[in-house]
Chain A
Amino acid sequence: MRAEMTPEKRKEYWKSNLRLLAVLLTIWFVVSYGFSILLVEPLNQFYLGGYPLGFWFAQQGSIYVFVAIIFVYAAMMNKLDEKFDVGE
């Protein structure tokens, strides 16, 4: 049995988790709601091949970013678990 986590450690672990969530959810929001909806017209002035850029984000790009966000989160959290020694 490893020792119980101290309340301070617990707090610190949770804070690091929340910080990571804030960063990743900001990216999530900017790509989908920002680039693909709110800013779609200005971005459509640019092209990615035959794709207007805003349209590309809405129908392709955002999905790729979502996948990346989840894997980055999983990897970072695993590291955090190790650092705080709370993994399984």
Chain B
Amino acid sequence: MTPLDIWTYVIVGSTFALYIGIAIWARAGSTSEFYVAGGGVHPVANGMATGADWMSAASFISMAGMIAFNGYGGSVFLMGWTGGYVLLALLLAPYLRKFGKFTVPEFIGDRYYSQSARVVAVISLLVASIVYVIGQMTGIGVAFGRFLGVSYEMGIFAGMGIVAVYAILGGMKGITYTQIAQYIVLILAYTIPAIFISLQLTGNPLPQLGLGAEYRPDGVPSGISLLAKIDQVVTDLGFKEYTTSMMGSKLNMFAYTMSLMIGTAGLPHVIIRFFTVPKVADARYSAGWALVFIAILYTTAPAVGAMARLNLMETIQIGPVGEETGNLLYTERPDWFERWEVTGLLRFEDKNNDGRIQYYDDTNPEFAARAAEWGWQGNEMVRVDNDIMVLANPEIANLPNWVIALTVAGGLAAALSTAAGLLLAISSAISHDLLKGVLKPDISEKQELNAGRWSMVAAIALAGYLGLHPPGFAAGTVALAFGLAASSLFPALMLGIFAKRMNNTGAIAGMITGLIITLIYVFQHRGIMFIPGTAFLEPLGMSPNWFFGITPEAFGMIGAIANFAVALVVSKFTAPPPEHIQHLVEDVRVPRGSGPAPHLSAALEH
């Protein structure tokens, strides 16, 4: 074992011991105040816990990598996954808290006085959550692959086992203090390497300012800003300019951001947290505090991405572009390079057999022609998986071993906490909403619990299997999940509060329309259930992103618009909701009289 391996085992092991220790300690005193979510949990503490719940492998492991390789285009993730909290806080959280139910399908079932509406909501929830878990599995595969020094596939299998144990031990989830510990591990693991690297490159310890500062490698002024330097380094090798490169068209970026925002407000495992705060006013503030803690990571991520990109380019292109000695000899590649090659996520192929690494954009015809004159025969970094960037970043920057180890621990904390939360949402949807609520109301509590456990195991197996051939990088896969939530659940929730006249037929028709057209568009591009080879674009003679150039990840906005439109039109031509439902809506709009909050762990068990 190398010193780095030892550090990694020690840090990952002790963070896990910490989470479990807190859980056991908290359980021992069952009357302890933090166990009762309705009691002593301060909105700030609740916000921190929500932050840990929310920030998943997509935020921690994947997002900065997406930003590193998409530059400005990566902004869709930054805005999408934070701006959604505004919608959540302003349009949903306080009203759903007033309504006072355990699950999202329960709200939809009651508001639309219909078991069918509840079943449609359960299906939407299951589809979105399972896709979301696939994204987590992708991240877990990357982290475990690197951590254990095995292939990505083996990493997924190891991850499946750990997620299963973690989620089935379960109760841990409900304890706010475990999540606070996870948040602290996660945020330290993210910001400490960023501070180190920002100091190295700009002399400014705050990454948020470092990204906008002058480029000063090792303290030597260069006269240009860091961003200008990155633009120069990437365009010198034929890549698109960092600060202006788009993610598809402008319309696509708009739709992408919108899908993520409304998806954020429609995802059940996030909404659930606001059911459990003591008062309606607290639901408003809790969302704000959650966003503060999320923003610490999200405003650091652009610096992490940009600086990782610069360091990666400079590691490989060590001298002037076009000169033979400008490219790194493969035999002299750094240790981190070799370690990532083991996972299969980083791959080099010596196309021109010169023993040196040429990393450039060979899809840029103008630059490829110039490169050919130097004897370059194509980009030799045949695979640089976006998802490795955050984990590899401290290694690339030569940071101390303990920092590298801490990053791995943070990535695992992010992936595991969110995966466990989602699995609980999935199992409660099946056991509580579907079985107990609709299919077999007379099952015992024990049977309900068992059904929940089995559905969790099935969900892990399914997500792990599908995660072997993920439809995209972790953040891209998770984006698909958001699109599905955006197109199905968000409109029904929002109309349920803001449109008194909305009736059961309208809401059901809307949800089904939104979900189905989004699923069709996604499966058409990425395969049915993401199984390779089942995409059906070509058989229909369609080109990718045929709908106004919108990518499947961004299609949630279109699905949501269709949902709203169908719901409003259908409800206009069908009978209005009964009197007592209209009173219910009036009542939800006023904070006074909200009942006591359900116990958080009860809400999660249900």
Query: Any chain A CB within 8 A of the CB of B572?
Result: no
Given contacts A62-B82, A73-B89, 5 further A-B contacts (CB under 8 A): A59-B75, A81-B591, A87-B592, A88-B279, A88-B592
Please report the C-alpha to C-alpha distance between residue A25 and residue B91 in the assembled complex, in whole angstroms.
Answer: 10
> CB-defined interface of B47-83 with A at 8 Å, one 1/0 digit per residue?
0000000000000000000010000101100110011
> Chain B residue with minimal CB distance to A88?
B279
Chain A residue total in the interface (Cβ 8 A): 43
Q: Is the CB of B257 within 8 A of A33?
A: yes
Q: Is the CB of A74 within 8 A of B285?
A: yes
| Contacts of A27-76 to chain B: CB distance below 8 A | 28, 32-33, 36-38, 40-41, 44, 48-52, 55-56, 58-60, 62-64, 66-67, 69-71, 73-74
Q: How many A-B contacts are there with CB distance less than 8 Å?
A: 136
Contacts of A67 in B (CB 8 A): 288, 291-292, 295
Report which of A21, A37, A50, A60 forms a contact with B299, defined as CB distance below 8 A: A60
> Chain A residue with minimal CB distance to B81?
A63
Contacts of B94 in A (CB 8 A): 77
> CB-defined interface of B577-606 with A at 8 Å, one 1/0 digit per residue?
000000000100111111000000000000
> Chain A residue with minimal CB distance to B256?
A37
Q: Is the CB of A86 within 8 A of B86?
A: no
Please report the C-alpha to C-alpha distance between residue A74 and residue B274 in the assembled complex, in whole angstroms.
Answer: 14
Contact A86-B591, Cβ < 8 Å, known A58-B75, A60-B299: yes
Please report the C-alpha to C-alpha distance between residue A73 and residue B214 in the assembled complex, in whole angstroms.
Answer: 37
Please report the C-alpha to C-alpha distance between residue A28 and residue B261 in the assembled complex, in whole angstroms.
Answer: 11
Q: Is the CB of A28 within 8 A of B79?
A: no
Report which of B90, B243, B298 forms a contact with A73, defined as CB distance below 8 A: B90
Please report the C-alpha to C-alpha distance between residue A87 and residue B280 in the assembled complex, in whole angstroms.
Answer: 8
Q: Is the CB of B86 within 8 A of A66?
A: yes
Main SS class of interface, B: helix
Q: Is the CB of B292 within 8 A of A50?
A: no
Q: Is the CB of A49 within 8 A of B82?
A: no
In which size bucket is the chain B interface?
A: 35 or more
Q: Is the CB of B302 within 8 A of A60?
A: yes
B295 to chain A, nearest CB (A): 5
Q: Is the CB of B86 within 8 A of A70?
A: yes
Q: Is the CB of B213 within 8 A of A50?
A: yes
B545 to chain A, nearest CB (A): 18
Contact A78-B281, Cβ < 8 Å, known A44-B244, A60-B208: yes
Contacts of B377 in A (CB 8 A): none
Report which of A25, A37, A78 forms a contact with B254, defined as CB distance below 8 A: A37
Stretch at the interface among B225-233, B473-481, B510-518: B225-233
| Contacts of B431-456 to chain A: CB distance below 8 A | none
Contacts of A64 in B (CB 8 A): 295, 299
Contact A28-B214, Cβ < 8 Å, known A10-B590, A58-B75, A88-B592: no
B46 to chain A, nearest CB (A): 14
Q: Is the CB of B302 within 8 A of A50?
A: no
Contact A14-B589, Cβ < 8 Å, known A37-B254, A73-B90: yes
Q: Is the CB of A58 within 8 A of B72?
A: yes
Q: Is the CB of B227 within 8 A of A55?
A: yes
Q: Is the CB of A40 within 8 A of B72?
A: yes
Q: Is the CB of A50 within 8 A of B214?
A: yes
Q: Is the CB of A49 within 8 A of B79?
A: no
Q: Is the CB of B254 within 8 A of A74?
A: no
Q: Is the CB of B213 within 8 A of A37?
A: no
